[in-house]
Chain A
Amino acid sequence: MAVRHAFTVDEWHCMGEAGLFGDCARVELLDGEVRQMSPIGSLHVFVVNRLTYLLVTRVGLRGVVSVQNPVVLNERSEPEPDVAVLAESRPDVLANPDETFLLVEVSHSSLDYDVGWKAPYYARTGIRECWVVDVVARTVTVMRDPSPDGYRRQQVLGPGDVLSIEALDGIAVAVEEVFGE
């Protein structure tokens, strides 16, 4: 019977080139479906900017910090995570899971969606590490060891804890720093 059309990344790019969604609409392609992204509030912006500063300064030349840019997960998914730490950035092709060290989603009202559906989807596509930053609870859920069933390891870090990136040795970010403390 008639089923929802699952868009491919190629179709998605064609839609973008045709000028769909305008310049302002916040949409992403996830599992063949065009989904609206949450509006960004000031606290969200603040935390994304904090994370950008912290990750750029700590990762340095060992990776590229890509902010609110698309990552191609598979032929039907091209989300725009809040922050991605990539092995490299190239002029002719978007990042893929193999060269992605970390994806970060900053979450205000979308925590259930980000932790319950989006992160497991990232795991299925092989993204090796995902953080979901809860700006309300001021915690960071760190998820590692991706599998088809989701991340096998999941830990909620709060004040006093230190974030690290498994694929990059020696990086330390205190949770408080993420929230500007």
Chain B
Amino acid sequence: MTAVDGRPVGGSSPPYSFTVEEWHVMLEAGVFGADARVELIDGTVMDLDEVGPDHAATVQALAVLLRQAAEPRAVVAIECPVVLDDHSEPLPDLVVVGPTPGDSPLAPADLLLLVEVSSSPSLDYDLHQKAPLYARAGVRDYWVTDLEARTVTVMRSPSPSGYRDRTTHRGGPLAIVGLDGAPIAVEAVFS
């Protein structure tokens, strides 16, 4: 059995799987430098994509819309790390967090919503690699915003084997499942 790049996987010399604890030591020690955009996924350190202007603008637009819908009962955070399990601490584009966050890192139970803003080739990664990870960790509402198709895919009802509900929206209102506030309009995300 070989990985994509031809090297054997597993076997006698498997890749080292970092724990979140080790990850924090690395970040505090400044291993990656101030400008690095990295996250820990399943024990592997991943480099995040460069953020293009479309991506940055959409993150900001979403932040405004989500704040209008969520505040003051919840807060919206951009690129805030979330400890999913012992080996994963991603840096999602946006999270909506209930009123309890303190000094400790965010955990899935703190999240009302997690949003990734995406375009190919990351779209596949966000829809099919990250979704099972977020579902396993119990993230209750996960949205993937597709910059090219101008759609939002909403995933809900997390289970150990993935999200049970997945719908893709080109328009119309979207509500944050844990908040009974005003929905946001999908069209407004891309306007």
Binding site for B on A (CB under 8 A): 1-5, 7, 11, 14-15, 17-21, 27, 31, 33-38, 109-110, 112-113, 116-118
CB-based contact A112/B11 at 8 Å: yes
Could you say which residues of chain B place their CB within 8 Å of the CB of A3?
A: 46-47
Instruction: For the complex, count residues of B whose C-beta is within 8 A of A.
Output: 31
Q: Is B14 an interface residue (CB 8 A)?
A: yes
Which residue of the partner chain, among A11, A33, A117, contacts B32 with CB atoms under 8 Å? A11
Query: Which residue in A1, A7, A18, A19 is a CB contact (below 8 Å) of B124?
Result: A1
Q: Is the CB of A35 within 8 A of B29?
A: no
A112 to B32, CA, bound (A): 33
Instruction: Contacts A18-B31, A38-B12 given; indicate if A2 touches B6 (C-beta within 8 A).
Output: no
Taking CB as reference atom, which chain A residue is nearest B36? A5
Q: How far is the CA of A117 from the CA of B14 in the complex (A)?
A: 13
**Interface residue? B35 (CB, 8 A):** no
B40 vs chain A, min Cβ distance (A): 9
Give the residue of B12, B26, B30, B48 whose beta carbon is less than 8 angstroms from that of A109. B12
- The answer for the CA separation of A112 and B12 in the assembled complex, in Å, is 9
Report, nearest first, the 8 A-B pairs whose CB atoms are least far apart.
A18-B29, A110-B12, A5-B45, A34-B16, A1-B122, A1-B121, A2-B46, A38-B12
Quick check: B44 and A15 within 8 Å, CB to CB? no
Q: Which residues of A contact B45 (CB under 8 A)?
A: 4-5, 7
Q: State which of A18, A31, A36, A116 has its C-beta within 8 Å of the C-beta of B16.
A: A36
Q: Which of A11, A14, A18, A36 contacts B13 (CB 8 A)?
A: A36
A33–B14 Cα gap in the complex (Å)? 10
Rounded to whole angstroms, the CA-CA distance of A117 and B2 in the bound complex is: 10
Closest chain B CB from A93 CB (angstroms) = 21
Asked whether, in the complex, the Cβ of B26 is within 8 Å of the Cβ of A15, the reply is yes
